[in-house]
Amino acid sequence: MSNDIFEILRAPHITEKTTLRTEASEGRTIAFKVKKTATKAQIKEAVEKLFNTKVESVRTATFEGKWKRQGKSRGQRSNWKKAFVTLKAGQKPIEFFETA
C-alpha cells in the first residue's frame, strides 16, 4: 500500500444518521472520513489491516465545503470525502466506544 493507513482513514464519521444506518445493518456498515484522493481499494485494504476484518464493499461520496462568512470576509471549508464500509457476513462489528 502506497499510503499510511492513518493517512487514508482520517476518523470514524459518527452522526445520528450513520449510527442509525449501522444499527439497521447490525453493525456491518461503518462510515469513515477518508483522504480525498483515496481509492476504494486503498480504503478496503486499510480497514482490513487496521481492524483485522474482511470487507465486502466500499461506497464513497465526495462533499463540497460550505461557504462561511464572518463580517465581510468570506471563506470556504475544505472539501471532504466519506466512505461507507460494509463488512462481510459473520464478521465481528467494529466498535469505537466500549460500553459497560
* Domains of the chain, residue spans: 5-67+75-87
Please give the chain's pLDDT, 100 residues, in tens.
Answer: 456 888 999 999 999 999 899 889 888 999 999 999 999 999 999 999 999 999 999 999 999 999 999 999 999 999 999 999 999 998 888 887 666 5
* pTM of the predicted model as reported, rounded to 2 decimal places: 0.86
Distances (CA, A) of 32 to 49, 67, 75, 80, 93: 15, 23, 25, 11, 14
User: What is the full DSSP assignment across 7-45?
Assistant: HHEEEE---HHHHHHHHHTTT-EEEEEE-TT--HHHHHH
Q: What is the pLDDT of residue 15?
A: 92
CATH 3.30.70.330 assigned to 5-67+75-87:
yes
Contact 31, 83 (CB under 8 A): yes
Q: What is the pLDDT of residue 1?
A: 47
